[in-house]
Amino acid sequence: MIGIRKVGSAARVVDLQARWGDRTTIIAGQLAVLVIWLTAWEAVGRGDPLLLSYPTQVLGGLVTMIQTSELQGLFLFTARTFLIGWAIAAVAGLVFGSLIGAFRPVALMFEPFVNALYSTPKIVLIPLMVLWFGIGLNAYVASVAIGAVFPMMIMTITGVRNAGREYVDVARSFGVKGLQLLWKVVVPGALPFIFVGLRLSMGRAIGGAIAAEFFLGGGGIGGAVQAAGMAFASAQMYGLILIIFGSVMAVDIGFRRLWSVLSPVRP
């Protein structure tokens, strides 16, 4: 038994070392690509700073925006729009996705419309949001929610339909049925898919917030990108685009890490 334990421990150590070795190699490769890209951008951008700008100029513009608290204000405005719209989309997608996935009559009635709306470019719905809610926070939030709700809904539908049948059968044998069966057995079994839906809808929500601000004007990072582009302020525009890119990447990585901690299961 002692020998078996030692072999098992040694195998785990080797596996851990292999994982860290692979991770170190990947990080080194990513840093190398980043350095090469920034160096090339710096060299090319200095030849045409009006259109291309360059990293050191972009960094200087971001530092100035931080010092004047302009960037913080823009970020908070967009974050508020994103969080409210995403929360609405997450709740609505979970509820309606669970009902469509669990009950065939509901699916037959609504699923064709869900699939059609999912395939429709959400940007064409922004004028409709303005018509319904006016120009302001309500229109921004509605644009975010309408773009983010469908990935959440479709992943929830998929998860509910793929929930373990053995758990459902056991619950039914104890007399659990209807909505009680859905919320206590089926939805917990669909959690891996629901979590993926949250991550995908989050990306759509950020994109929806930026797009709404870009086309409707007003505050937020999207509106600032649009204003910087119109003024040919390339350094500020590139800096804000990098802020958007970095925010999406950071939140996505955070979601992946959170799920890896919460559960080893993958859909």
* Model pLDDT for residues 7-44, shown as the tens digit of each residue: 445 445 445 455 555 778 888 888 899 899 989 988 88
Distance, first Cα to last Cα, the chain = 36
CATH architecture for residues 55-262: Orthogonal Bundle (1.10)
Pick the more confident residue, 242 or 10.
242
pTM: predicted TM-score of the whole model, two decimal places: 0.79
Q: What is the mean pLDDT of the chain?
A: 82
* Model pLDDT for residues 144-183, shown as the tens digit of each residue: 999 999 999 999 999 888 876 666 666 666 666 667 777 7
Closest CA to 58 of 223, 262, 233: 233
* Model pLDDT for residues 90-142, shown as the tens digit of each residue: 999 999 998 898 888 889 999 889 988 888 888 888 888 888 888 888 889 99
pLDDT for 13 equals 47
Q: How far apart are CA 91 and CA 230, in angstroms?
A: 37
Burial class (CB in 10 A: 0-12, 13-18, 19+), 198: buried
Q: Is 233 left (phi over 0), alpha (psi -120 to 50) or beta?
A: beta
Name the pLDDT band for 77 (thresholds 50, 70, 90): very high
What's the chain's length in residues? 267
Mean pLDDT score, 211-236: 86
3-state SS string for 103-144: CHHHHHHHHHHHHHHHHCCHHHHHHHHHHHHCCCHHHHHHHH
pLDDT for 126 equals 82
pLDDT for 85 equals 95
Angle made by CA atoms 66, 79, 38, in degrees to the nearest 5? 50
Q: How far apart are CA 56 and CA 253, in angstroms?
A: 26
Would you say the C-alpha torsion 35, 36, 39, 41 has a positive or negative sign? Answer: negative
Q: Which stretch of 32-46, 184-198, 236-250 has the lowest confidence by average pLDDT?
A: 184-198
